[in-house]
Structure 1
Amino acid sequence: MSWRFEYHETLGSTSDLCKARAEAGEPEHLAVQAFSQTSGRGTRGRTWTDPGGNLAISLLFRPADPAAFIAALPFVVAVALFETAIHFCPVVTGPSRFMLKWPNDLLMDGRKMAGVLIETGGPQGNPWVVVGIGANLRQAPEIPGRRLAALSEVTDPPSAEAFGKVLVAQIEHWTALREREGFAPVRAAWLARAHPVGTPLAVQRCETYITGSFSGLDAQGRLLLALPHGETIPVVTGDILLD
């Protein structure tokens, strides 16, 4: 099924509009994109500042198997973001500039360049999933205490419209692969693009930290954290801090 792209010069939130359309019965494969977003948000209630010229897009899905779809979705979108960034970068930058951080942040030179927010709703018989994606193409917003990156630092960035089209095609590709072959190939692709096994990291939960090293992903996509005393624990949620 082809995607229906809807463009707006300015929106408060692409995801809010996409969710409203979903609640009104809109079929899946709607892509709502704004060239300027005034009330974007990230995970855990954080704001996502958009200085203009960057990607702000939300996608509507109505999966037949919501649980399996949602479990794989962060990794599908992360790999698609990585591949889209590489697509628009000169060969000289190399893929090593980019790295995925669990579960779905795209880092450039160790700084966040893109993030994802997944929201769900709707009746049991016809649920919806809205994926909001923000990527710094032309400029990184200035947020105290955070180090952010923009694609313009390494290449002449594409338009937000062009980046969005390639990204949606990549998401479609990896979604179709998961439907045909399950989560395993998506998991493998994510691991090949992420912080290496053995990378020291900390998981932040409220005001506490659990430190250890990255030990991969389990079959459900949970981060495996190897603790200093030898135990390995699965991490379902939490902010990941790379050392």
Structure 2
Amino acid sequence: MPSQETPYQDWQAEALWQALTPLLPGISIEVLARVDSTNTALLERVKNEARGGSPQPYGRRSHDMQPCLLVAEQQSHGRGRMGRAWLSSHGGSSLTFSLGLPMQVADWSGLSLAVGCAIADALEPVDQIPGPQAPRLMLKWPNDIWLDGRKLGGILIETVPAGSQRMVIIGVGLNIHELGGGAAPEPSPAAFSTGFAALQEFRPGIQAPEVLALIAPALARALNSFQNEGFAPWQAPYARRDLTLGRQVSAGSLHGISRGISATGELLVESPEQGLQPVSGGEVSLRFSGGSSGSGN
């Protein structure tokens, strides 16, 4: 349920609205102290419209299908990919938000990759990375953001029909400081027991509202780009941050070496038995199965 409590932090919503309005006309920004799930809250608005459009207990009416950025300082039933939990606590230890908007896209493939890349580039601009040095912020296909070899955050994208349109809900969760009371680790196999990272390790002292002010405009620009051009323009920027590239991976029953991402956002896995195989995001959850492959293997 949404909370009527006063948010803990100053989110500078007016300044953020001014930055986002030229990119997403008609956008509204809502900040809640507590909610079950920001993605669920926005999805319920769309579903409520299909049931007749009765007023919501907070925020705008459900029939208003304009873009909406919904921020929650605490999520009690946040959701990650494959039904996993992504929780956050009151007090700024994490940033959790969802952006909902109508989009007309011929091919949704690769959207989570473009979103991850846009967020990483906003926090660590490529032109500020010295020479051949690898970025500290890397992307693990299809929806995770990693910092220095540990998971920093994740992305959950859901779509739902809304009359003649389709609404996309993009949920983002990022750890801001140490996780003693922050985002709860998702259940994961031993191959992923690498610990969890916090953004303040990379940008000391930064707080959740500052992070949102950095990444929300970048996310809006990425969505506009994706709607017009699809994933192809993001293939090269993603490759620079591809955590799996050249590493042994397992994708369901397929085991092999990651050879990067296709122009439509598929993971390319090369195995001795099956050769080069594309893997779609909706089919499997990727796991590392070993170290790097070594040059030329």
The corresponding residue for 1:189 is: 237
The corresponding residue for 1:233 is: 277
Q: Does 1:98 align with 2:137?
A: yes
The corresponding residue for 1:10 is: 34
Of Structure 1 and Structure 2, which has the larger fraction of its residues in helix?
A: 1
Residues 179 and 131 (structure 1 numbering): CA distance in 2 closer, same or farther, change over 3 Å? closer
Work out which of the residue numbers 132, 138, 146 in structure 1 matches 2:177: 138
Residues 117 and 142 (structure 1 numbering): CA distance in 2 closer, same or farther, change over 3 Å? closer
* SS at structure 1 position matched to 2:286: strand
Cα drift, residue 49 of structure 1: 2.1
The corresponding residue for 1:216 is: 260
Residues 235 and 37 (structure 1 numbering): CA distance in 2 closer, same or farther, change over 3 Å? same
The corresponding residue for 1:64 is: 104
The corresponding residue for 2:147 is: 108
Residues 154 and 162 (structure 1 numbering): CA distance in 2 closer, same or farther, change over 3 Å? closer
| CA deviation vs aligned residue, 1:95-138 (integer Å, no higher than 9, x gap) | 62211111121011111111011111124512211111101012
Cα drift, residue 240 of structure 1: 1.5
Larger radius of gyration: 2
Work out which of the residue numbers 247, 265, 282 in structure 2 matches 1:199: 247
- Tell me which amino acid in the other structure corresponds to 2:150: R
8 Å contact from structure 2 (residues 266, 278) kept in 1: yes
Q: Which runs of 5+ in 1 are unaligned?
A: none
- Separation (CA, whole Å) in 2 of partners of 1:95 and 1:25: 46
The corresponding residue for 1:55 is: 95
Cα drift, residue 220 of structure 1: 1.8
- Tell me which amino acid in the other structure corresponds to 1:166: L
- Separation (CA, whole Å) in 1 of partners of 2:160 and 2:68: 16
Residues 180 and 14 (structure 1 numbering): CA distance in 2 closer, same or farther, change over 3 Å? closer
- Tell me which amino acid in the other structure corresponds to 1:79: C
TM-score in terms of structure 2 length? 0.71
- Tell me which amino acid in the other structure corresponds to 1:81: I
* SS at structure 2 position matched to 1:25: coil
| CA deviation vs aligned residue, 1:166-215 (integer Å, no higher than 9, x gap) | 21211122223334444321122111211263222222x3xxx4321111
- Separation (CA, whole Å) in 2 of partners of 1:157 and 1:80: 22
Q: Which runs of 5+ in 2 are unaligned?
A: 1-23, 48-61, 291-297
The corresponding residue for 2:218 is: 170
The corresponding residue for 1:152 is: 200
Cα drift, residue 51 of structure 1: 3.2
- Tell me which amino acid in the other structure corresponds to 1:40: G
| CA deviation vs aligned residue, 1:142-177 (integer Å, no higher than 9, x gap) | 537542111123332432222123212111222233
Cα drift, residue 85 of structure 1: 2.7
Work out which of the residue numbers 117, 120, 127 in structure 1 matches 2:156: 117
Deviates more, 1:233-242 or 1:18-27: 18-27
8 Å contact from structure 1 (residues 137, 160) kept in 2: yes
TM-score in terms of structure 1 length? 0.86
CA RMSD of aligned residues (A): 2.4
Q: How does 1:11-90 map to 2 (within 5 A)?
A: 11-23=35-47, 24-52=62-90, 53=92, 54-65=94-105, 67-68=106-107, 70-86=108-124
Number of aligned residue pairs: 234
